């Protein structure tokens, strides 16, 4: 049996394990080790599986992951999330669908301090849903806003998914984080436009908030100026080159801790540290397992063979790009974002680069497709997380509430493909 066939069979075996419910870290490590054993023998396989994960995950660049995650949890337990939503409510609540729009911008604000989509959905579910219910907003609209708004954390820096893509694709993490700014803002803006139009045409979906004075609006700003300054310093440090992404993450975590001191109890600090440790351990376990599997694929020769086959297709390269993105749309219905990213990028990225696409441009598009997968059935992790926060809203209603957001997401992907400078403007300016 040739090595390429072994690679294909290993991929099929992995897919079956994942569909059966086996955790991705264990499934990838097992398939990768067995595949290496078959191709290279037990001794080399054991050596690679034992040494390579440490050698790869001990990179200084990966320090950015736990630090940005800590920054997000400190912001949550310090109540900064609630402040961001309240400010958005005071300034946008008077518009048609104002509370729904405020939820989107509240999610965007928290995304700038969080980096994890499911955490954003869980937190904003606790903060925004009671307010939306209080004003009589339709359950489907309310749940859809929170679930879809939570996906902004995968795009707006600091994004954990962007960091992992940069690691696996060997691209600049700083450039990738900055590349997500405009696409993230585009998502928030187009979500809000869609909600404004829907509520304008059908006011019965939920009333605007009335009676908010300018004094109340201005007073609400004091709750978010600190986090706004912090995010500006973090992203500004990366953009100017004053700080590496890891250093910027350290600044962000320290800044969030300082801001949290006056509001956070010792028990909350302990919870923030424990949540950070659990989340970081889960992510690094997945990375280790996938690295073993990726090394197996490299020895099988399957990725390069597939890349050459794709490059050799006699069709427009944008047709191939759309087909690859469509594959991510399907995979997103069954796999979580981190696992999907780590499993596919080593296979498809050589082909994408061979077709002449910028890997940073492609990375943002892939992350965009992962966002869609977070709110589409049957997996839709953000929907499941929100269901845990709001057990009185049915899964069906949450998925239906996400429908319009998925339509807007697909339109946004088309816009980004048509106008790649939306993605590349800041990274190219940083290089210049």
CA angle 167, 164, 62 (to 5 degrees): 65
136: in domain: yes
Is residue 120 domain-resident? yes
Sorted by sequence, the CB contacts under 8 Å of residue 101 that are 6+ apart come out as: 88, 92, 95, 192, 195, 196
Dihedral, 392, 394, 395, 397 alpha carbons, nearest 10: -120
* Percentages (nearest 5) of helix, strand, coil residues in the chain: 80, 0, 20
Q: Which two tokens stand for residue 238?
A: 């990366």
pTM exceeds 0.85 for this model = yes
Q: What is the pLDDT of residues 176-192, one digit of tens each?
A: 999 999 999 999 999 99
- Residue 41 forms part of a structural domain: no
48: in domain: no
Q: Is 21 exposed, middle or buried (0-12, 13-18, 19+ CB in 10 A)?
A: exposed
Number of neighbours of residue 136 by Cβ within 10 angstroms: 11
- Domain extent for 407: 59-264+301-431
Q: What's the N-to-C CA distance of the chain in angstroms?
A: 50
Contact indicator for 253, 71 with CB cutoff of 8 Å: yes
- 335 DSSP 8-state letter: S
As a whole number of angstroms, the distance between CA 34 and CA 394 comes to 42
Q: Which of 151, 92, 160, 155 is nearest to 121 (CA)?
A: 151
Spatial distance between the Cα atoms of 209 and 200, rounded to a whole number of angstroms: 14
pLDDT of residue 147: 92
Q: Domain count for the chain, please give it.
A: 1
The whole-angstrom separation of Cα 259 and Cα 272 is 14
Structure tokens at 416: 């980004």
Assigned domain for 158 exists: yes
Provide the residue-wise pLDDT of the chain in tens; the chain has 432 residues: 788 888 889 888 887 887 777 887 888 889 999 999 999 899 988 988 888 777 777 777 788 888 888 888 888 877 777 888 889 999 999 999 999 999 999 999 888 887 778 778 888 888 889 889 889 998 999 999 999 999 998 899 888 889 889 988 889 889 999 999 999 999 999 999 999 999 999 999 999 888 889 999 999 888 788 778 888 888 888 888 888 888 988 988 898 888 888 788 888 889 889 988 888 888 888 888 888 888 888 888 877 777 777 777 788 999 999 999 988 887 777 677 777 787 788 888 988 999 999 999 999 999 999 889 889 887 687 888 888 888 888 888 999 999 999 999 999 999 999 999 999 999 988 766
Of 401, 405, 379, the closest CA to residue 390 belongs to 401
Is there a domain that residue 92 lies in? yes
* pLDDT value, residue 431: 67
């Amino acid at each position: 049996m040739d090595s390429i066939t072994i690679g294909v069979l290993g991929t099929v075996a992995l897919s079956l394990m994942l569909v059966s419910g086996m955790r991705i870290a264990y499934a990838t490590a097992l398939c990768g080790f067995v595949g290496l054993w078959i191709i290279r023998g037990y001794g080399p396989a054991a050596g690679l599986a034992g040494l390579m994960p440490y050698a790869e995950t001990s990179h200084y660049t990966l320090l950015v992951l736990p630090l940005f995650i800590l920054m997000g949890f400190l912001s949550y337990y310090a109540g900064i999330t609630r402040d961001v939503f309240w400010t958005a409510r005071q300034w946008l609540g008077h518009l048609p669908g104002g509370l729904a729009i405020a939820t989107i911008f509240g999610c965007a604000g928290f995304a700038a301090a969080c980096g994890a989509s499911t955490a954003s959905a869980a937190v904003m579910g606790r903060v925004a849903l009671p307010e939306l219910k209080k004003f009589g907003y339709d359950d489907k609209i309310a749940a859809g806003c929170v679930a879809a708004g939570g996906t902004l954390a995968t795009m707006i820096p600091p994004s954990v998914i962007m960091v992992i893509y940069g690691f696996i694709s060997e691209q600049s993490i700083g450039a990738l984080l900055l590349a997500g700014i405009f696409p993230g803002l585009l998502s928030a803006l187009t979500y809000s436009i869609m909600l404004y139009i829907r509520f304008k045409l059908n006011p019965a979906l939920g009333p605007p908030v009335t009676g908010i004075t300018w004094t109340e609006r201005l007073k609400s700003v004091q709750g978010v100026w600190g986090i706004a300054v912090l995010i500006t310093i973090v992203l500004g440090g990366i953009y100017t080159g004053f700080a590496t992404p890891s250093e910027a993450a350290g600044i962000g975590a320290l800044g969030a801790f300082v801001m949290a001191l006056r509001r956070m109890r010792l028990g909350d600090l302990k919870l923030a540290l424990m949540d950070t440790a659990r989340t970081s351990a889960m992510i690094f376990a997945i990375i280790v397992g996938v690295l073993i599997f990726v090394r197996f694929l490299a020895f099988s020769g399957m990725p390069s063979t597939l890349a050459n086959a794709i490059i050799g297709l006699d069709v427009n390269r944008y047709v191939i790009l759309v087909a690859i993105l469509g594959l991510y749309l399907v995979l997103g219905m069954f796999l979580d974002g981190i696992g999907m990213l780590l499993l596919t990028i080593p296979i498809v990225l050589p082909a994408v680069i061979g077709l002449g696409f910028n890997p940073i441009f492609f990375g943002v598009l892939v992350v965009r497709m992962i966002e869609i997968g977070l709110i589409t059935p049957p997996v839709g992790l953000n929907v499941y997380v929100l269901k845990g926060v709001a057990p009185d809203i049915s899964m069906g209603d949450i998925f239906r509430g996400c429908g319009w957001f998925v339509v807007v997401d697909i339109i946004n992907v088309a816009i980004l493909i048509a106008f790649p400078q939306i993605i590349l403007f800041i990274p190219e300016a940083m290089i210049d």
